[in-house]
Every structure is written in C-alpha cells, then in structure tokens.
Amino acid sequence: MAVPKVCGIETEYGVTLRGAAESNPVLASSMLINAYVEHRKVGWDFDDESPGRDARGFAREGSAPPEVETHLVNTVLTNGARYYVDHAHPEYSTPECADALELVRADKAGERVLARSMQAARRLLEPGQDILVHKNNSDGKGNSYGTHENYLVDRALPFAGLVRYMLPWFVTRQVFTGAGKISSENGAEPVDYQISSRADFFEEEVGLETTLKRPIVNTRDEPHADPQKYRRLHVIAGDANLCEVATFLKVGTTAIVLAMVEDDFIDKDLGIVGPVSAMRTVSHDPTCRATVELVEGGRATAIEVQWEFLRLANKYADETGLEHCGGEDVGTDVLRHWEAALTALERDPMTLDGRLDWVTKLALLDAYRARDGLAWSDPKLALLDLQYHDVRPGSSLYERLVAAGKIERLVTEESVIEAMTEPPGSTRAYFRGTCLARWPEAVVAANWDSLILDVGTEPLRRIPMMDPLKGTRAYVEPLFAECSTPAELVARLAS
C-alpha cells in the first residue's frame, strides 16, 4: 500500500579552484563547507550507513559498493540538511520533505547555501584565487557527477515490481527533467544538443553501482528509516535542475507514479525494449518525436508513454486520492503542470522556455547562434552551456534570466532564504534541525535516522528517528516548548 512520499534531493556540485597551481577539488569543497559552517560543526554519525546493501537481496559479483568516506568534512545544518564532501564534490542533501513544493524550496535553498559558501570562502583564499561552483552533472569531457532523488517506499512492495515501471518512467520523464547539454559524451552518438546531461552515462538497466556502469534503476537498499516498513528509492537517473517547474514536475510526478506502483494501480505493461539505448534515443532528440519500441508491441514517443502515465495518474487521483503524494493540493497542482507540459511539448517544446531547463538553455543558445552566427562547436556556446549553471548570483546565466522575468517561479525568494536555516515542519528534519538550532553544543552527531546528544552526564544519548513522519512540527513543537535543556528533552522522550 502506498506510503507517504517523503522525498529529498542530493546534489554533487561541480567545483573548481581557479588561480591555483593545481585545482584540488577535495580541498576546495572542504573550504566551502568549513567557511559556511563557522560555528562548531556537528559531525555525521556513520553507524547506520550501508550503501553497499542491495535491494534485490544480493550483491552481484564484481560490483563495487561505494566507500563511505568518513574522514572528509561532513556536517548537518539547522534546516536539517547534510552538507559534506563526497567524491571530490561539495554535496548538499536537502532535508526530508513531505511534498514536491517543499522540496523545490529546499533544493533552491541549497543553491543559496553554496553561493554563500563561495562568498565566505573568499577570505580563506590567496589573492588571485577563486572557487567556482556549478549546479550541473558533467564537465563535457566524460566526467559525470550526480543529482539523486530519494523517495520513501513501502517495504512490502517487491523490488522487481518497482523496476518494471521505473525503467520506462525514467526513460520518458527526461522530456521534462532534462537540464540540456551541447554534444554527447561517454561514447554516445554525436549530437548537437540533447535533452538530458546524464543520459549518456547510463549503461545498465538495474544495479548497485553509482560511479561507473551506472544503472537506470539503482538498487541501493539503505532506507535511513525502519527497514521492516520502508525502502528508500535512490534515483540516480536525473539531472540537476535550476527551473523550479522542472524540479516540481520531476519530484511530484515521480511520487505519484511510485504511489500507483505501490497500490498496484497500473494495469498496463508500459515497458520499453532496450531501456539503456532508449534513454539516449529520447535524450538525443530535442524535437521529442523520436520513438522507442514497446514491450507490448509497436513504437511510441516518450510523450505518448507519458500521456499513458498521466491518464493513469488522473484515474488514480479520482479513485484513490493524492493524500500520499504530498497532499491533494500539491498533487492536483502536479497533475495540472504535468498536463500543461505534455501538451506544450507535443505542440512546440520551445514554448516551455522559462519552465524547463533544457528548453530554457536551448532558447538562450539559439538566440546566440542567431545573433552571432555560431556553429554548435563554438566554445562560446560551450561556455554559455556551462555558465547557465554557475551558482554565483552575478555570474549565473539562469539567475540573469530570472532577473529579466523570463523564468516561472513557484516559491518566493523570502521563503527560500528562510529554508536555508529553518527545517521543513512536515518531517523528522524538524526535530533534527530544531535540536541543532536550540542546543548546538549538545548535538554531538547526527544522522538521517538518529541524533546523539550530550546531556552533561554519561553516557551520550542516542535518539532514534526511524520514522521520517515523526518528529514533525505538529508532534514535537509542544515538547520543545516545555523543555529548556537537552536533558529535559531526553527525559521527556524516555517517559
């Protein structure tokens, strides 16, 4: 049965130390985080980390589970987010959110945290040096780094059932989740411009890896919650979005599809033959007219497969409701945006300029090509492609487009700034963030599903938070109001 779609996004940002003899990305990432977290850093507790656990119940021979790098900078923020160095990139994991709109805000707040980090890191740099950060997924030279989504899923659902529908889902949702990219990488067919910056990097249908031979469906089984009740679907087949509408659609639609799979609502085989090559076929065609072969027979465009998913989603909304998909209001809004996007993609994708990243960037590149007569191979276009994702407010081309009123926003900037420090009220992130804000000295370490408090007397107290939907504002705000010390809080929780 569908469980509430608690969700989050982790982004590995591109990082460059400019003006140094050698760009050391690990050092640059550490500097960013240290500069941002000026107060005492709260460590991350690694006890429950097990990224090598496979959702299928086994590990394939020769597969390499990622190492947990415990020696690198790793911290928790008062908004409930985790901010750390991962694989030579600064990574920002949003707090757990209860709906797509809240996650749009939390993800945008992450961009602002990185921008402020860059500003703060300047005082640590030598003259002539600069740290640049990009919210993108590839350097255009075959190196990719991820933007992952996470969704809470019912443990009772067999993993194979999930894979069956998630494969066609991830292949076809690219038409609105893509962040766009000039050219191709990783041995893919040459192309001028493609929809997704990540599609070229998927080489397997299902698997545990995340850094090589990337699978479309990742099987990492690390729920960060009660493993008897929950799974966490770790989605690695997505792009880093700047457009709020794109993030909203990416998360909101995926949440609804997952709920439909959990409720066994999809009565049709939507499978695609050869999903790995289909991933590229869809991404490589910005007209959105390329077709892929269906398991049921015949061919369809990604948009046609999406219409099927939407038809089912509308039916699901009528019959079951969207309470588990971020609530009725957000869920209904997702359906509305979804339909509008598919309609526009079918008629003319370029009308989604300002709403989807791949279209917005393509419109900018087209404008330059028209004005300056540039060939697709011109370095100026490659620079525009890169600088669209620059996180510095003054240099980000995306932010220039926002300032020019060309981008549709879904959340206010005030609420984004607030989300840099305030946790969402709808999940356990509220408990984590509030403890940290109120008693920074007492929080020794934190993890997604626990907090370790020093209450002044031995031993250290570990507070488990195995349910992402407990520890919300509604649950614990009265408790916080009654406790003036962490010792009181621990005593109250124990009683």
**Residue whose CB is less far from other proteins, 143 or 484:** 143
Yes or no: say if 280 and 175 are a contact pair by the CB < 8 Å rule: no
Q: Is 48 exposed, middle or buried (0-12, 13-18, 19+ CB in 10 A)?
A: middle
At 395, the amino acid letter reads: S
CB of 319 to other proteins, least distance (A): 37
Tokens of 239: 């792009």
H or E stretch including 36?
A: helix 25-36
Q: Is 123 exposed, middle or buried (0-12, 13-18, 19+ CB in 10 A)?
A: exposed
The one catalytic residue among 45, 54, 86, 357: 86
Q: Residues interacting with other proteins, by CB under 8 A?
A: 12, 14-16, 23, 25, 66, 86-89, 138-141, 143-146, 148, 210-212, 236, 364, 367-368, 371, 379-380, 382-384, 386-387, 394-395, 397, 400-401, 404, 406
Tally of CB atoms within 10 A around 419? 27
Tokens of 130: 């600069």
**Residue whose CB is less far from other proteins, 70 or 412:** 70
**Residue whose CB is less far from other proteins, 121 or 322:** 121
At 358, the amino acid letter reads: W
At 126, the amino acid letter reads: E
Strands 43-44 and 443-447, by their bridges, are parallel
**Residue whose CB is less far from other proteins, 185 or 262:** 185
Map residue 89 onto helix, strand or coil: strand
**Residue whose CB is less far from other proteins, 342 or 384:** 384
CB of 394 to other proteins, least distance (A): 6
Q: Is 252 exposed, middle or buried (0-12, 13-18, 19+ CB in 10 A)?
A: buried
- Per DSSP, helices labelled H in 348-378 are 357-372
**Residue whose CB is less far from other proteins, 70 or 395:** 395
Q: Of the candidates 165, 164, 197, 209, which has an alpha carbon nearest to the alpha carbon of residue 60? A: 209
CB of 79 to other proteins, least distance (A): 23
CB of 118 to other proteins, least distance (A): 15
Q: Of the candidates 322, 182, 204, 180, which has an alpha carbon nearest to the alpha carbon of residue 253? A: 322
**Residue whose CB is less far from other proteins, 63 or 320:** 63
| Alpha carbon distance 148, 236 (integer Å) | 5
CB of 171 to other proteins, least distance (A): 20
**Residue whose CB is less far from other proteins, 145 or 230:** 145
| Alpha carbon distance 151, 237 (integer Å) | 13
- Identify the DSSP state of 80: S
CB of 402 to other proteins, least distance (A): 12
In b/e form, how buried is each residue of 339-357, taking b as 16+ CB within 10 angstroms?
eebbebbbeebeebbbbbb
**Residue whose CB is less far from other proteins, 212 or 481:** 212
C-alpha distances in Å from residue 44, one per residue of 80, 318, 324, 449, 463: 12, 43, 30, 11, 14
| Alpha carbon distance 259, 99 (integer Å) | 13
CB of 325 to other proteins, least distance (A): 26
**Residue whose CB is less far from other proteins, 39 or 141:** 141
Q: Is 192 exposed, middle or buried (0-12, 13-18, 19+ CB in 10 A)?
A: middle
CB of 216 to other proteins, least distance (A): 14
Active site residue 54: no
CB of 240 to other proteins, least distance (A): 11
CB of 370 to other proteins, least distance (A): 9
C-alpha distances in Å from residue 199, one per residue of 144, 208, 322, 411: 10, 17, 30, 29
Map residue 235 onto helix, strand or coil: strand
Residues with a catalytic annotation lie at 86
